[in-house]
Amino acid sequence: MAGHMLDIVLKNLKKKFDNGFVAVHNINLEIAEKEFLVLVGPSGCGKSTTLRMIAGLEKITEGEIYIKNRLVNHLMPKDRNIAMVFQNYALYPHMKVYDNIAFGLKMRKIPKPEIDKLVHEASEILGIEDLLHRRPRQLSGGERQRVALGRAIVRKPDVFLFDEPLSNLDAKLRVQMREEIKKLHERLQTTIVYVTHDQVEAMTMGTRIVVMKNGVVQQVGKPLELYEKPLNLFVAGFLGSPAMNFLNARVVEERGAFFVKDDHFSLTIPRALKNRYSELKEKEVIFGIRPEHIFDKTLTDPFPNGESLKAKIEIVEPMGSVVVLVARCGTSKIIASVDSKTKARPHVEMDFLLDMSQMHLFDKEFEEAY
Amino acid sequence: MDRFLTEKVKKAFLVIATVALFVFILFPPAVLFLTSIKTELDALSFPPKWFFQPTLKNYAAILKTSPLIGYAVNSLIVASLNTIACVVIGSMAAYSLARYKFKGSENIAFWMLSIRMMPPVAAIIPIYILMKNVGLLDTPWCLVITYLTFNLPFVVWMMKGFFEEIPRELEESAFIDGCSPLNAFIRIALPLVAPGLAATAILVFIFSWNEFLFALILTGTKAVTLPVGIIGFMKETGINWGYMTAGGILALVPVILFTMLVQKHLVKGLTLGALK
């Protein structure tokens, strides 16, 4: 991170609840200025707890948190100069929208004319000027979300914290707010730490993603980095929809070439990857390939590293732009996302082409990528 | 058609039930009121007279000749101070029990409730001795303090429930917006439970206003409250029904006024949470 100013640093951060449950194990993380960092993982992975520790809403069991080079472990939330958007928006029901947005400024004893200016500025950015004199319960979900954002941006904090802000919205609104939050980030250039369980949100919004599971960071990186080079089985399966296919297989060497092999398939490992996997000879592995790297052979011209595989179609799911095929190859299930012109029908065996340059191999025991 | 009919029957039944219930509830106060505007002769006649010449003689007499106004002032002082103390202490205690869970906090809450389970009579002698020793007997203070024992647990339990229904994120959001815990309590939590608080305050006020047993034992002359004062019309020479009932009606008036004043909050408060 040389050259970048660091905004938030988490050092050996740990959270153990009173009931003994360890929600976060020893997290180390450096968040650069202006970054849009997404913490993503299934529920109970410790992502929200981590965020709440940064906010000061959750006591830190061990470790240190720095915001703008200042140790904040013992600072109250109000002294950390952060803003947070909650999943249920947490608008004050007894205050009008204007007062909701102005509340943080009032608490900081900012003069009234200044407050008025700032509130109108923020509401203009979010297009909620018409709502200023309404009460939260008179607003729709999307409007509430905007007010919550307004309340956060009006204070011009060092850091924005988002705790699953879009999960209470319907699908269409979610996409729209996703774009708006992204635009807001570009406009305000403020560091954002964003928690979500939705891998699509993580992939589309984050400049960097932290994948967590059971309180442990699995991998940190740019969205495409994580997508293309997952460090372990969990990250590989978590990011991407439909999820990556995993097949039990064996690495075999025959006449100088390496294969990923099972009773029902034998796929040549590309030459370029040969050296990387040569040590796995005769080893049981998990072979991973994403659905979008599997093609309908009848619709695809042969390409380098394209390997054939026969599988019996079980389900055909037309999605419009693509067709998702659920097929079976021996005991393994394979999901392929193929061209919508496919003629695939259930219960019929068909040929697929796998783009082996996109293959992944994982250790069977430790589930780590080779 | 069938459904329409059953709806109608249902509605009619509801109306009848409501009227019956109201007649049942309102019968005693109605008799109280009627007796208070009867002459002594009419009041004692049997079977009771339903048609008679009403008179305000009883009211005029007790307001002029007895220290009823003084009793009312005592009652007002005791009930108001007790209500204020209950609301201030009780809501803070309830908030901390609702929001700050610590080892034994549930036990503390239950212990408070258990105080209410105790029959008041059991405590009356010790309280009398205590009050005598600290020199508070026959002052409004001894009643204010004693009523706290019974009203505080009630307030704490009512308010604890209301506070627990506020989403925690509201206060967390307030913390981030710049509130200290006390500030978040005053500016966010308290306004949100205001209807519940008002409802609780009314019930506490009514309890203090109507309380009889402790008032009878702990006061003698100076700090006598209305319920005890009204009993004063029961003399060895006989019961003056006219005076007693008139006193009773006068004692009812402030409670009714107070309740009407905050009725909107009372309904809102007692159904708080049901609306969510």
A195: three-class secondary structure by DSSP: strand
Q: What share of chain A is helix, strand, coil (3-state, %, to 5)?
A: 30, 35, 35
Rounded to the nearest integer, the mean pLDDT of chain A is 92
Specify the pLDDT at position A311: 93
Residue A44 has pLDDT above 70, yes or no: yes
Assign A268 a pLDDT band (cuts: 50, 70, 90).
very high
CB atoms B177 and A88 under 8 Å:
no
Predicted confidence (pLDDT) per residue in B231-272, tens digit: 888 888 888 888 899 999 989 888 888 788 777 777 776 665
More confident residue, B15 or B262: B15
More confident residue, A221 or A277: A221
Tokens for B8?
């109608």
CA distance A355 to chain B (A): 48
Specify the pLDDT at position B276: 37
Residue B188, chain A, CB below 8 Å: the answer is yes
Specify the pLDDT at position A149: 94
Could you tell me the strand order of the sheet in which A6-16 lies?
A22-32, A6-16, A62-67, A70-71
Q: Which residue of A has its CA nearest to B276?
A: A137
What ipTM was estimated for this complex? 0.86
Category of A255 on φ-ψ map: left (φ > 0), alpha (ψ -120 to 50) or beta: left
The residue type at A152: A
Q: Which residue has the tokens 């109250």?
A: A76
Predicted confidence (pLDDT) per residue in B81-115, tens digit: 999 999 999 999 999 999 988 888 889 888 988 88
Q: B186 near B124, Cβ under 8 Å?
A: no
Mean pLDDT of A256-261: 90
Q: How far apart are CA A286 and CA A311, in angstroms?
A: 18
Residue A332 has pLDDT above 60, yes or no: yes
On chain A, the residues whose CB falls within 8 A of the CB of B188 are: 92
Residue A19, chain B, CB below 8 Å: the answer is no
Q: A65 near A54, Cβ under 8 Å?
A: yes
Q: Report whether the peptide linkage leading into residue B28 is cis, meaning its omega lies within 30 degrees of zero.
A: no
Predicted confidence (pLDDT) per residue in A300-329, tens digit: 888 889 999 999 999 999 998 999 999 999
Mutate to test the interface with A, among B175, B177, B268, B276 (most CBs of A within 10 A): B177
Number of H helices, E strands in chain A: 9, 20
Mean pLDDT of B181-191: 94
Specify the pLDDT at position B275: 37
Mean pLDDT of A319-343: 92
On chain B, the residues whose CB falls within 8 A of the CB of A94 are: 191-192
Predicted confidence (pLDDT) per residue in A110-158, tens digit: 999 999 999 999 999 999 999 999 999 999 989 999 999 999 999 999 9
Q: Which residue of B has its CA nearest to A105?
A: B177
Residue B230, chain A, CB below 8 Å: the answer is no
CB atoms A107 and B175 under 8 Å:
no
Quick count: other Cβ atoms within 10 Å of Cβ B59? 18
Specify the pLDDT at position B271: 64
Q: A313 near A326, Cβ under 8 Å?
A: yes
Assign B1 a pLDDT band (cuts: 50, 70, 90).
low
Assign B152 a pLDDT band (cuts: 50, 70, 90).
very high
- State the burial class of residue A224 (Cβ atoms within 10 Å of its Cβ: 0-12, 13-18, 19+): exposed
More confident residue, B169 or A5: B169
Specify the pLDDT at position A51: 96
Residue B134 has pLDDT above 60, yes or no: yes
On chain B, the residues whose CB falls within 8 A of the CB of A78 are: 175-180
